């Protein structure tokens, strides 16, 4: 059985939050006053997460991304990766991390079979890093990136773009130089509205504006992408020394080709990132409901995927106030 939604989009990409907690407090992800963490017993267990990934594997899901919160704060993360890569070799497994613990775990992650990591980094400036993450940990992240590259992980850097914070020529050039020096792609993500993150037109900057700023000192050459469902569009700088991606979730929504769903750390399936609707998978994983019915339940949830999310740039658009914060969804 394949998972196909009401608009004929085949679901092949699942992001699973394996840890709601985080060691950074990025202002666009976690509200100033924090969020209520889950009790340990509220979180999916090792065997529930694995069972779920097995189910997705049987449903022809190709890609699983482990996320959070911060996935590396989960104690059994290495064991989990080992089990997935050994028992389910068809799954393309990756992880999104803030990089703080990567220098500690990089080698173990690689040895466990992980091959790809996306590392979030919004600035290369120490003061700005502390302003945006509310923690003074840039050195740890830079060490983490170095370690990930050295052990052989395929690394991509993701930076959330924020107006008057990291959208100026100097900041963008620092990222491009970093990408060139380390031979890793840098991707700029448009800031999205979530409950508690105070999104508005004053802190939002579009990919197009970033490209214009970059072009004032660099040549940008569009690169072809093979994967239609990829959320990023790529450009190369002159002689393709740096690869620069743009994830334009706000200005150019990619709902039309969306093939992804999310599962929160307590096992709620969210068919759409920006839709309040959730389906509780845990009863099927812990024996309260018949496990044989989980695939039908997942398909029912997928039938509820929106054709497209609201236009965040519409005049009347109001950011959500009572949905989950991004940190509790899992990015």
By CB under 6 A, name the binding residues for ligand SAM.
Answer: 22, 28-29, 67-68, 70, 96-98, 120, 158, 160, 189, 191-192, 194, 197, 326-327, 331
The entry of ligand SAM, ligand SF4, none that residue 194 binds, CB within 5 to 8 Å by partner kind: ligand SAM
What's the min distance (Å) between Cβ of 68 and ligand SAM? 5
What's the min distance (Å) between Cβ of 73 and ligand SF4? 9
How far, in Å, CA of 92 to CA of 85, rounded? 9
What's the min distance (Å) between Cβ of 70 and ligand SF4? 5
What's the min distance (Å) between Cβ of 252 and ligand SF4? 22
The entry of ligand SAM, ligand SF4, none that residue 25 binds, CB within 5 to 8 Å by partner kind: ligand SF4
Query: Taking a C-beta distance cutoff of 8 angstroms, is the pair 298, 269 a contact?
Result: yes
Query: Taking a C-beta distance cutoff of 8 angstroms, is the pair 248, 207 a contact?
Result: yes
Query: Taking a C-beta distance cutoff of 8 angstroms, is the pair 206, 250 a contact?
Result: yes
Burial class (CB in 10 A: 0-12, 13-18, 19+), 220: middle
Sheet containing 232-237: which strands, arranged edge to edge? Answer: 220-222, 232-237, 243-247, 186-190, 154-161, 116-120, 92-97, 63-68, 13-19, 260-263, 268-270, 279-280
Residue ranges that bind ligand SF4, judged by CB under 6 A: 22, 24-26, 29-30, 68-70, 98, 120, 327
Residue closer to ligand SAM (CB basis): 100 or 301? 100
The entry of ligand SF4, ligand SAM, none that residue 186 binds, CB within 5 to 8 Å by partner kind: none
What's the min distance (Å) between Cβ of 21 and ligand SF4? 9
What's the min distance (Å) between Cβ of 149 and ligand SAM? 17
Q: Annotate 287-316 with three-state secondary structure.
A: CCCCHHHHHHHHHHHHCCCCCCCCCCCCCC
The entry of ligand SF4, ligand SAM, none that residue 191 binds, CB within 5 to 8 Å by partner kind: ligand SAM
Q: Which residues contact 84 (CB under 8 A, 6 or more apart)?
A: 50, 53, 64, 91, 93, 113
Q: By beta-carbon distance, which residue lies closest to ligand SAM?
A: 331
Residue closer to ligand SAM (CB basis): 269 or 294? 269
The entry of ligand SAM, ligand SF4, none that residue 197 binds, CB within 5 to 8 Å by partner kind: ligand SAM
The entry of ligand SF4, ligand SAM, none that residue 279 binds, CB within 5 to 8 Å by partner kind: none
Burial class (CB in 10 A: 0-12, 13-18, 19+), 1: exposed
Strands (E), 121-256: 154-161, 186-190, 220-222, 232-237, 243-247
The entry of ligand SAM, ligand SF4, none that residue 30 binds, CB within 5 to 8 Å by partner kind: ligand SF4
What's the min distance (Å) between Cβ of 241 and ligand SF4? 28
Q: From residue 23, how far is each of 40, 69, 147, 189 by CA, in Å?
A: 17, 8, 19, 21
Residue closer to ligand SF4 (CB basis): 5 or 323? 323
């Amino acid at each position: 059985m394949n998972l196909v939604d009401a608009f004929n989009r085949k679901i092949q990409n699942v992001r699973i939050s394996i840890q709601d907690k985080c060691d950074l407090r990025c202002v666009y992800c976690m509200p100033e006053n924090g969020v209520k963490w889950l009790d340990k017993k509220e979180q999916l267990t090792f065997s529930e997460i694995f069972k779920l990934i097995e189910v997705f594997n049987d449903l022809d899901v190709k890609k699983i991304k482990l996320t959070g919160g911060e996935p590396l704060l989960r104690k059994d993360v290495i064991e989990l990766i080992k089990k997935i890569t050994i028992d389910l070799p068809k799954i393309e497994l990756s992880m999104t991390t803030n990089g703080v613990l990567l220098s500690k775990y990089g080698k173990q992650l690689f040895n466990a079979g992980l091959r790809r990591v996306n590392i979030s980094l919004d600035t290369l400036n120490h003061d700005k890093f502390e302003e945006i993450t509310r923690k003074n940990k840039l050195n740890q992240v830079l060490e983490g990136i170095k370690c990930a590259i050295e052990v052989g992980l395929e690394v991509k850097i993701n930076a959330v773009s924020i107006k008057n914070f990291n959208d100026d020529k100097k900041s963008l050039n620092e990222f491009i130089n970093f990408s060139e020096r380390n031979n890793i792609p840098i991707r700029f993500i448009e800031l999205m509205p979530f409950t508690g993150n105070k999104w508005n037109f004053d802190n939002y900057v579009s990919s197009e504006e970033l490209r214009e700023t970059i072009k004032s000192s660099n040549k940008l050459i569009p690169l072809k992408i093979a994967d239609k469902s990829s959320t990023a569009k790529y450009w190369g700088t002159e002689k393709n020394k740096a690869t620069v991606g743009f994830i334009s979730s706000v200005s150019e929504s990619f709902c039309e080709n969306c093939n992804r769903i999310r599962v929160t750390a307590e096992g709620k399936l969210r068919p759409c990132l920006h839709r309040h609707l959730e389906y509780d998978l845990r009863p099927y994983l812990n024996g309260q409901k018949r496990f044989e019915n989980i695939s039908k339940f997942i398909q029912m949830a997928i039938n509820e995927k929106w054709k497209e999310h609201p236009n965040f740039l519409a005049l009347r658009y109001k950011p959500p106030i009572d949905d989950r914060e991004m940190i509790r969804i899992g990015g």
